[in-house]
Chains A and B, each alone.
Chain A
Amino acid sequence: MSAIGAKPAAGSAMDMTATIIGIIILLVIIAATYFLVGPGMAFMALIGVIAGGILIGFGVHFVPVGGAPAAMGQAPGIATGVAMLAAGAGLAGLFGGAWAAELGIVVATVTGAVGGGLMMAITCMFVNFIYVFGMGIPSASGKVARDPITGDTQAEFKSQGTEGHGLPFVSYVGGVIGGLFGGAGGTLIYLMLLEVYTEELPGMMNALPGQILPIAVTLAGIFAIGMFLVNAVLAAYNITGTIEGPHDPKFKRFPRAIVASAIASAVCGMVAIMIVAL
């Protein structure tokens, strides 16, 4: 994406003190919300938003993204930025989920998940299509000797001087799972906020629920997109830009991304809910 390639010094270890402080911040936010709005729907919405954020942060780790080297067949993965690829899939899922919003929360969330997974399934298939039929390159992983799902050996399919290329099957599955999580998370945030806004806005603005619907949809939609981007970028920072999929050693860093996503979503979600609840 950009020519800035210097890798940050971020290690893979977890900073325990910081994590504990982070969890305390998270609990304080949840307690403050409970104290301010009570145990009603708004509070449940915050929990839903946090869950959605965690799904997004976790899901990004599955998406196989190679960044700039992938465009030259120098590294496996999809040749684009991780945050934006996840956003593309998650927002495609959000599109489907928002459409199914009136069918209930479970159906809508699953629809959103399938929408994100569908987008990734098609995109990843075309990535391999281009590699194989456009460039004559078979897929190979650089991080593992055997594909954990199919058991195919990888090393001898890696061309000289590269770290691998294309999407081995495990990366493909990872991409689909990432899309599923991203779509579900984005949709969950949207649904939770939409419910709060459709409930509270008519009273707040002295208007009929039908009149207020466009406002509620826009507010919930733009917040879902905003929180999606925040969580996806945080997860991208965690994996320092590139990852091969669930078999990559960097995948083991996901616990701290979950903590990070929970805190970030809690802060953003609390403010978003307070717009109507305070």
Chain B
Amino acid sequence: MTVKVEKIEGGIPHNTIMVAGLIASVVLVYLTYANVLTGTQYFAFFGGLATVAALVWGSHTIKHLCSYGIGTGVPSAGMMAFGSGVIAMLFATKYGIAAPIVAVILAAVVGAILGYVANNVLNMKIPVMIVSLVEMAVIGALVLMGYAAMMSGSFELSALTTGSVSILGLSLPSYQASFLGGALIATAFMLGGIAIQHPFNACLGPSWTQDRMLYLAAECGFLSMIAAAIMSMPLISMGAALVSLFVAVIGWYYTYAKYIELSKRDAFSWLDSKPIPEVEGQ
């Protein structure tokens, strides 16, 4: 309980990560629109990549916010992000092609009000509170939109609510077998909510390093994407789901290996089946 409140030193500045994350995730969500243009579903995996970009950004925002000490656990910040993001995201899906932009703007407004409430009404007086909650709400909305686009092939409300069931070889439309009707959004909610807070929660400590945390964020994103790819199987064509799965596994393997390498670099020592080292002076 005595981890010092640490400041971000060196590394990539937060604003760079924020801008890059925002642009990358919005662009990647839009790339899933290629599905509509080409009439296939093979571009759904871009939605998953959008979540990875947003989660990398989000992990750094959490680091930025929680380095002030918010009085309760790091995970609660992730829950807050998704609790406010899910509402903005679902509202935005009504607006068809404009959905990602609407989601970003609306989430920012909701986040700003929540930030004002937390910072001023609840008297928390944390300098980055409002900005952070704006970012978190936007991230929550974009991550959920990314999963929605990935699992159902499109980010429009009609696609999220209708699926098809094949009974005896016949394909029938069904509301139940859809991203919303099957409540897969609940799983997406938790996938994102844990993945966003885990990198900072797992890497906090005096020897925190930025690159290690960001690789872990990407790893969490790709790991969640593997799970999302499997859940997309009944909603989009099997080929498209396998493409997503393939991309996710490759990305996960690379980032996981890289993260272990960086942990090896940062760790004091890397021992296998050795006793606790003797500490001088004890």
A22 and B117 in contact, given A5-B1, A10-B124, A10-B125 (Cβ under 8 angstroms) = yes
**Do A214 and B123 touch across chains, with their CB atoms under 8 A apart?**
no
Partner of B185 from A21, A218, A228 at Cβ < 8 Å:
A218
Report if B176 contacts A (CB, 8 A): yes
Report if B90 contacts A (CB, 8 A): yes
Name the segment of B11-19, B65-73, B248-256 touching the other chain.
Answer: B65-73
Report if B83 contacts A (CB, 8 A): yes
Please name the residue on chain A nearest to B160 by beta carbon.
A215
Instruction: Name the B residues within 8 Å of A259 (CB-CB).
Output: 117, 121
Instruction: Name the A residues within 8 Å of B70 (CB-CB).
Output: 4, 8, 237
Q: In residues 67-91 of chain B, which contact A (Cβ within 8 Å)?
A: 68-77, 79-80, 82-84, 86-88, 90-91
Most chain A beta-carbon contacts within 10 A, residue among B106, B121, B180, B185: B121
Partner of B113 from A5, A19, A264 at Cβ < 8 Å:
A264
Q: In residues 230-280 of chain B, which contact A (Cβ within 8 Å)?
A: none
**Do B185 and A222 touch across chains, with their CB atoms under 8 A apart?**
yes
Partner of A222 from B4, B71, B91, B189 at Cβ < 8 Å:
B189
**Do A19 and B175 touch across chains, with their CB atoms under 8 A apart?**
no
Most chain A beta-carbon contacts within 10 A, residue among B74, B86, B110: B86
A260 and B122 in contact, given A214-B175, A222-B189, A226-B87 (Cβ under 8 angstroms) = yes
**Do A256 and B122 touch across chains, with their CB atoms under 8 A apart?**
yes
Q: In residues 228-247 of chain A, which contact B (Cβ within 8 Å)?
A: 228-230, 233-234, 236-238, 240-241
Most chain A beta-carbon contacts within 10 A, residue among B69, B80, B204: B80
Report if B40 contacts A (CB, 8 A): no
Most chain A beta-carbon contacts within 10 A, residue among B90, B122, B180: B122
**Do B113 and A263 touch across chains, with their CB atoms under 8 A apart?**
yes
Q: What count of chain A residues pass the 8 Å CB interface test?
A: 64
A241 and B71 in contact, given A83-B76, A230-B83 (Cβ under 8 angstroms) = yes
CB distance from B269 to the nearest CB of A (A): 21
Contact indicator per residue, chain B 173-196, by CB within 8 Å of chain A (1) or not (0):
001101011110110010000000
Name the segment of A36-44, A95-103, A267-275 touching the other chain.
Answer: A267-275
- Please count the residue pairs between chain A and chain B whose beta carbons lie under 8 angstroms apart in the complex: 196
A271 and B1 in contact, given A8-B126, A15-B123 (Cβ under 8 angstroms) = no
A267 and B110 in contact, given A1-B73, A218-B180, A234-B117 (Cβ under 8 angstroms) = yes
A4 and B83 in contact, given A10-B122, A260-B117, A264-B113 (Cβ under 8 angstroms) = no
Partner of B69 from A7, A226, A268 at Cβ < 8 Å:
A7
CB distance from B154 to the nearest CB of A (A): 15
**Do B84 and A205 touch across chains, with their CB atoms under 8 A apart?**
no
Please name the residue on chain B nearest to A81 by beta carbon.
B73
Instruction: Name the B residues within 8 Å of A21 (CB-CB).
Output: 116, 120
Instruction: Name the A residues within 8 Å of B122 (CB-CB).
Output: 10, 234, 237-238, 256-257, 260
Instruction: Name the B residues within 8 Å of A3 (CB-CB).
Output: 1, 3, 204-205
**Do B201 and A271 touch across chains, with their CB atoms under 8 A apart?**
no
**Do B182 and A264 touch across chains, with their CB atoms under 8 A apart?**
no
**Do B72 and A15 touch across chains, with their CB atoms under 8 A apart?**
no
Please name the residue on chain A nearest to B158 by beta carbon.
A205
Most chain B beta-carbon contacts within 10 A, residue among A11, A83, A230, A275: A230
A234 and B118 in contact, given A4-B204, A5-B3, A271-B87 (Cβ under 8 angstroms) = yes
Could you tell me the distance between the alpha carbons of A21 and B3 in the complex, rounded to whole angstroms?
A: 36
Please name the residue on chain A nearest to B3 by beta carbon.
A3
Report if A212 contacts B (CB, 8 A): yes
Question: Could you give 26 example pairs across A and B, Cβ below 8 Å?
Answer: A1-B72, A4-B70, A6-B5, A6-B68, A8-B126, A9-B125, A11-B123, A13-B123, A15-B120, A18-B121, A22-B116, A69-B1, A81-B72, A83-B76, A84-B76, A214-B181, A215-B161, A215-B181, A218-B182, A219-B90, A222-B185, A222-B189, A227-B87, A234-B114, A260-B117, A275-B94
* 3 nearest CB pairs, A to B: A6-B69, A1-B73, A18-B120
The chain B residues found within 8 Å of chain A, CB to CB, are: 1-5, 66, 68-77, 79-80, 82-84, 86-88, 90-91, 94, 106, 110, 113-114, 116-118, 120-126, 158, 161, 175-176, 178, 180-183, 185-186, 189, 201, 204-205
